Amino acid sequence: MKALCCGFAALGRVPSAICFVAAGLLRAGAVAATPQPTDFGYGHLGMWDSPAVGTRPLVILLAQFDGIPGTLKTIPEYDRLCFGPTNSVNEYFKAVSNGRFQWTRAGVLGGVHLSSAKSLKYLDKVADPCRPGKDNDDRVYSSNIVAQVLAANAGSFNIASYDANHDHNITPNELQILIVTSEWESREGAGIRWCAPVVLPWAGVMISNAVCAHPVIWNGARQDFATICHELCHELGADDLYPPTCCNQDMTVMGCTLSDPDDPHRMYPDPWHRMVFGWCEPRIFPLTGSGTAALPVATSGEPTSPVLLWDPNNPSLSDFWLLEYRNPQLGEYDRSVPGTGLALWYVQQNSDHNLVILADGKRMNWNMGPYGPDYPWPPPNSTLWGSGTTTDLLTHTGPLGRTAYRVRVHEFQSGDSSITVEWFPEVWVDFAYAGLIEAGTFSAPFNTLAEGVAASSPGGVVHVKAGSTPERLVLRKRLTLRSYGGTAMIGR
């Protein structure tokens, strides 16, 4: 991670994509009225200006490439996997959306064998006439599959019935397409692919949109449950959250998912995606002092289960934290989350409520959990804050100064349906500290009391390690000064 940005961070175990600005004093009057979920992007995300709520028809197209390793499952198997009444892709979306979104079964169509010359493995070697400088024309690849499978099933599948507005042009708002092929040995395992317009003369319609591009999903024959859900979330407008190091794995379905055939891994989307899809409404708290909240487990079906913490020192609302409780024991569709406890998400988005993207491809929606001892740096993944733990220091530097907080998880049992968390301002000072990085944490403290006071929020705690300083200060905000490891002498 080479790019830098300034804003919120979890200090001490922070990805190098985040930097920190010098602290300033929080002036009186900085607290703004509590914003609403829409101010943070609630409900703004959807494909083709269509909200991700209600229902959307989905057709699955199966294509076998001759001469290429890989064998498809049967049509009934894909039908059960995607549209079955239990443990299915459709039931997954019903659960993670709190009942606000589902796919409706348009059909599962197959019976097509295609030449290997139309495969990605072959097309990778052919120049793309539509996009000079690229090696593969995804649009030709996808449109060929769509045309061939629909033609083979023209007698049993009425594609024209999905032309809801009768303009002879079927768009993604009217029908979504999931392509599953037998192909695996290609440059990618799965992904959104763009489809060139497909004219279907026997039906009197075409599949396209205003810019002659239609998103379809392709999964190799080794597709697993989580990857199908991941790619279908892309159909709704979701962002990948794994570049550049496969981060957030098992913490969100938008992390790395590609795995072995029939891998049972499944996990919820992160709370940012669920919020911007309109599937949950986090309770919003300003960081103006200590606070406490109960977090029902994410799988509870309670739309207000997450908590959003925002800093009134950041009037643009571009940076905030989302807190949620995850427990693999309490929900079939979150059973692969790595542990039980608090997931703490740092989000940075632009004025359009889209995630900020760094130069290395990382999107700023990062799980700030504790990292295991064997993870490299930068870490590919993090876990959850467990019972009785306290998070690393969370900070934001804005136009009115610096805010610094921690979150403590109260004691809980592994089967509890909710947990309680509290947040509070906190800073560390060590007069003898001579390190290069001063971040206000226990291991990288400030080395002057003035810095510690400036970095603290009203009502916060400044921990001062044993030592002495000649500094004499006038405190102009309510603070608790607490010595650590012995006596701390001030003004001598």
Residue 456 and residue 364 share a domain: yes
Give the rounded percent of residues in the chain with a pLDDT score beyond 70. 77
Task: Report the domain count for the chain.
Answer: 2
Instruction: Please spell the DSSP secondary structure of 296-324, one letter per residue.
Output: EBGGG--TT-SEEEE-TT-TT--EEEEEE
- Identify whether the C-beta of residue 427 lies closer than 8 Å to the C-beta of residue 462: yes
Residue 403 and residue 313 share a domain: yes
With bands split at pLDDT 50, 70 and 90, how would you rate the model's confidence at 32? very low
Residue 159 and residue 294 share a domain: no
With bands split at pLDDT 50, 70 and 90, how would you rate the model's confidence at 8? very low
pLDDT at 466 (0 to 100) = 95
- Identify whether the C-beta of residue 94 lies closer than 8 Å to the C-beta of residue 232: no
Q: Are strands 365-367 and 341-348 parallel, antiparallel or unpaired?
A: antiparallel
| pLDDT at 404 > cutoff 90 | no
Whether 245 maps to a domain, the answer reads no
pLDDT at 121 (0 to 100) = 58
Whether 250 maps to a domain, the answer reads no
- Identify whether the C-beta of residue 149 lies closer than 8 Å to the C-beta of residue 109: yes
Instruction: Please spell the DSSP secondary structure of 73-123, one letter per residue.
Output: --HHHHHHHHH-SSSSHHHHHHHHTTTSEEEEEEEEE---EE-GGGSHHHH
Q: Of 237, 260, 286, which residue constitutes the final position of a domain?
A: 237
Residue 206 and residue 284 share a domain: no
Q: Of 219, 237, 255, which residue constitutes the final position of a domain?
A: 237
Segment 203-223 shows an average pLDDT of 58
Cα atoms in the Cβ-side hemisphere of radius 13 Å centred on 326:
29
Segment 206-234 shows an average pLDDT of 66
Residue 295 and residue 187 share a domain: no
Residue-wise pLDDT tens digits, 255-291: 888 766 667 789 999 999 999 999 999 999 998 878 9
Query: Would residue 291 be called left, alpha or beta, if left means φ above 0 and alpha means ψ between -120 and 50 degrees?
Result: beta
Residue 148 and residue 86 share a domain: yes
| pLDDT at 217 > cutoff 70 | no
Q: Of 237, 254, 287, which residue constitutes the final position of a domain?
A: 237
Give strand pairing partners of 65.
114
Residue 10 to residue 18: CA distance in whole angstroms: 9
Q: Are strands 176-181 and 214-219 parallel, antiparallel or unpaired?
A: parallel
| pLDDT at 294 > cutoff 90 | yes
Q: Which residue type occupies 275?
A: M
Residue-wise pLDDT tens digits, 133-182: 443 466 777 888 888 999 999 999 999 999 999 999 998 889 988 888 87
Helix (H) or strand (E) holding 140: helix 138-152
Name the least confident of 182-186, 212-216, 411-415, 420-424.
Answer: 212-216
Measured at the alpha carbon of residue 62, what is the angle toward residues 60 and 65, in degrees to the nearest 5?
155
Considering the chain, what is the average pLDDT of its residues? 80
Name the least confident of 395-399, 416-420, 464-468.
Answer: 395-399
With bands split at pLDDT 50, 70 and 90, how would you rate the model's confidence at 185? very low
Residue-wise pLDDT tens digits, 424-474: 878 889 999 999 888 787 778 999 999 999 887 777 789 999 999 999 999
Residue 90 and residue 21 share a domain: no
Query: In which domain, by residue range, is 300 found?
Result: 5-43+273-490
Residue-wise pLDDT tens digits, 51-94: 899 999 999 999 888 877 667 888 999 999 999 999 999 999 99
Residue 229 and residue 88 share a domain: yes
| pLDDT at 192 > cutoff 70 | no
Residue 461 and residue 330 share a domain: yes
Contacts of 299 (CB under 8 A, 6+ apart): 95, 268, 327, 330, 331, 333, 334
Give strand pairing partners of 341.
326
Residue 227 to residue 229: CA distance in whole angstroms: 5
Residue 231 and residue 329 share a domain: no
Helices (H), 249-355: 271-276
Residue 255 to residue 246: CA distance in whole angstroms: 7
Whether 201 maps to a domain, the answer reads yes
Full-model pTM: 0.80
pLDDT at 116 (0 to 100) = 74
- Identify whether the C-beta of residue 440 lies closer than 8 Å to the C-beta of residue 427: yes
| pLDDT at 108 > cutoff 90 | yes
Residue 313 and residue 298 share a domain: yes
Whether 361 maps to a domain, the answer reads yes
pLDDT at 289 (0 to 100) = 75
Whether 258 maps to a domain, the answer reads no
Residue 28 and residue 109 share a domain: no
Instruction: Please spell the DSSP secondary structure of 423-478, one letter per residue.
Output: EEEEEEE-TT---S---SSSSS-BSSHHHHHHHPPTTEEEEEEEEEE-------S-
Whether 266 maps to a domain, the answer reads no
- 3-state DSSP call for residue 372? coil
- Identify whether the C-beta of residue 64 lies closer than 8 Å to the C-beta of residue 113: yes
Give the rounded percent of residues in the chain with a pLDDT score beyond 90. 44
Whether 23 maps to a domain, the answer reads yes
| pLDDT at 415 > cutoff 90 | yes
Residue-wise pLDDT tens digits, 331-389: 999 999 989 999 999 999 998 998 988 766 677 777 787 754 443 334 455 689 999 98
b/e code 128-157 from CB counts within 10 Å (16+ = b): eeeeeeeebbbbbbbbbbbbbbbebbeeeb
Name the least confident of 11-20, 27-36, 340-349, 426-435.
Answer: 11-20
Whether 248 maps to a domain, the answer reads no
